[in-house]
Amino acid sequence: MWFFRKKVELPKGMADLHNHIVPGIDDGARDMEESLAMLRLFQETGFSTMVATSHLDHPMFSKVQPSMICEGVEQLKQRATQEGLSIELHPGAEVYYGDGLLEKVQTPACMTLAGGSYILIEFPPLDPMPHLKQLAFELSVRGVLPVLAHPERYEILLDRPQLAKDWVHAGWVLQLDLPSLIDANGKAVRKVAQTLLRQRLYGLAASDMHHPDPPEALRDSLEALVRYVGDDEAQRLMVDNPHRIIKGKGIIDFDD
């Protein structure tokens, strides 16, 4: 007997706050055509809004400047309008943690998410990350709220997933990479992601899309999220909190 998987309904008006859609400046979209294909895919999948988060201060893409991200977003917006796409696009960055971070956030243009008060930060994969509590404090006194990119991918959480709760209590908003749910980063990473989802430690989920292939991966990973956490939690992670972050409002967290 055949069993058919029930069709999953995705939340409406989703916002993606981590992707590499700006053409030609990091390891994301290679050119404008690929960026437009990504925009189209997000719009067709039910997204209303995207914040483009090119790598910034990453050792492999050290030439990227915040102004390049803003310029790229402007060019992409113009082309999107010409193509009849209505999805909203804002500039942001995925900032690689380094010594100069606290100084750089003093001039946060084209660096914070949609120009608001949240900043998306990534760490080297093997970083022991002992300084997260202090860093959240240092950023908050400068008026910046930290979002931690894909915690499930950091080696330290594979051994000590309980650290994630300390980070949330210290003020970090944890961002799930959706592809982690469909084993794009390996089974061990998916298990950490599912542990954090069960504990409701994530504040939002995002695609971290670099290229629109395979195109079904976006929908598949969103369906995996809905199946795992249910409609209400998916709404919180894909719609409510991402839009609150864009507007600079506090997120609905795991205690609410």
Site residues (CB under 5 A) for Fe ion? 94, 208
Q: Which among 249, 250, 238, 256 has a CA at the least distance from the CA of 17?
A: 238
How large is the greatest C-alpha to C-alpha distance in the chain, in angstroms?
A: 63
Beta carbon of residue 13, minimum distance to Fe ion (angstroms, whole number): 23
Q: Which is nearer to Fe ion, 157 or 235 (CB)?
A: 157
What is the residue whose two structure tokens read 């795992």? 228
Query: Are the C-beta atoms of 16 and 245 separated by less than 8 Å?
Result: no
Nearer to Fe ion, 175 or 235 (CB): 175
The residue among 185 and 235 lying less far from Fe ion, judged by its C-beta, is 185
Beta-carbon contacts of residue 182 (< 8 Å; ≥ 6 apart):
190, 217, 220, 221, 224
Taking the complex as a whole, the smallest distance from the CB of residue 128 to Fe ion amounts, in Å, to 21
State in angstroms the smallest separation of the CB of 122 from Fe ion: 7
The residue among 16 and 94 lying less far from Fe ion, judged by its C-beta, is 94
Q: Would you say 208 or 240 has its CB closer to Fe ion?
A: 208
Half-sphere exposure of 182 (CA within 13 A, CB side): 16
Least distance (Å) between residue 79 CB and Fe ion: 22
- Contact call for residues 194 and 228 (beta carbons, < 8 A): yes
Whichever of 65 and 140 has its CB closer to Fe ion, that residue is 65
CB of 94 to Fe ion, least distance (A): 5
Given the complex with Fe ion, which of 42 and 235 has the nearer CB atom?
A: 42
Beta-carbon count within 10 A of 203 CB = 24
Alpha helices in the chain (DSSP H): 32-45, 66-82, 101-104, 132-140, 155-159, 163-170, 187-198, 216-229, 231-235, 241-246
The distance of closest approach from Cβ of residue 256 to Fe ion in the complex, given in angstroms and rounded to an integer, is: 27
Give the integer Cα–Cα distance in Å for 209 and 100: 27
**Shortest distance (Å) from residue 53 CB to Fe ion:** 6
SS3 category, 163: helix
